[in-house]
Structure 1
């Protein structure tokens, strides 16, 4: 298994802010709506245009990924230029965990729930 679980559902779109070739890799910078910041985890997973990648850096409404030569050569990422629009899908497991912790379907995570489940 390479990469992370991807559902193919676009969470939002972003805009490429930089495409930088380095020695042996490429950096892609992507700006997006800061309302999605909570889904971006440094060294966590993100899917850009259907490609599973690792977040190298995170700022408010912006992230950077490092792309290895194999991925660069075998995906459409090499065609991206500054200001191109990209599809973003945030980590599926992270979204499930955040949904549970924020309690959007469960009434919220409480100390009592943790105790009842044997975690506290």
Structure 2
């Protein structure tokens, strides 16, 4: 579990995509201070497992499914990435519940200044927009943000200078693709509100006989 509070910006050292060995290597500092094999680190909001590391670089295997469902497939050597370690039990919950399981991607369609703030408008698919509500939470490239506006085709967030400086969002431009994770609570509530399907029964029933003229 993550909170969407980015700890540092790392740098991609190597990306390899092949049928037998797909992985990413990232140079970092803070997130490696207490790292162990098997630890989870969110990379642009995608939860990855540390498979080996040294003092300045960690390696994570990446499935083809992850490359295809997120923006990780567009990363190249030198790309900056947002990094966050899994939440410690004694840590503060500064953002919102972030699982690191990306729901899909969006495209930045507009960036505009508003005093000290910067507004980002992101277009995305209807199946993601259904869970995005005004003043609700959204994770963009792993950053916990508050939704300021929602339309039929897009949503907008307004960020402060600190967020722009401490994450890669400040380097984004119109047309860039970003990873999106909806608030997990809304998805579970929707699932639980759906009526349960009646249990299937086998064999001949009175209903079956009636339908077939007996």
TM range (shorter): 0.7 to 0.9
Q: Which has the higher contact order (CA 8 A, sep 6+)?
A: 1
Aligned with 2:105 (options 13, 19, 22): 13
More helix by share: 1
User: Once superposed, what is the RMSD of the aligned Cα atoms?
Assistant: 1.3
* Aligned residue number for residue 118 of structure 1: none
* Aligned residue number for residue 111 of structure 1: none
The alignment status of 1:34 with 2:126, answered yes or no, reads yes
- Could you tell me which runs of 5 or more consecutive residues in structure 1 were left unpaired when the two chains were aligned: 109-120
Larger Rg: 2
- For each residue in 1:71-117, what CA deviation from the matched residue of structure 2 results, as whole angstroms up to 9, or x when unmatched? 111111001100000100000112111221234xxx18xxxxxxxxx
- Could you tell me which runs of 5 or more consecutive residues in structure 2 were left unpaired when the two chains were aligned: 1-92, 198-214
Normalising by structure 2, we get a TM-score of 0.47
* Aligned residue number for residue 135 of structure 2: 43
1:32-111 map, 5 Å: 32-103=124-195, 107=196
Normalising by structure 1, we get a TM-score of 0.82
Q: Which runs of 4+ in 1 moved over 2 A?
A: none
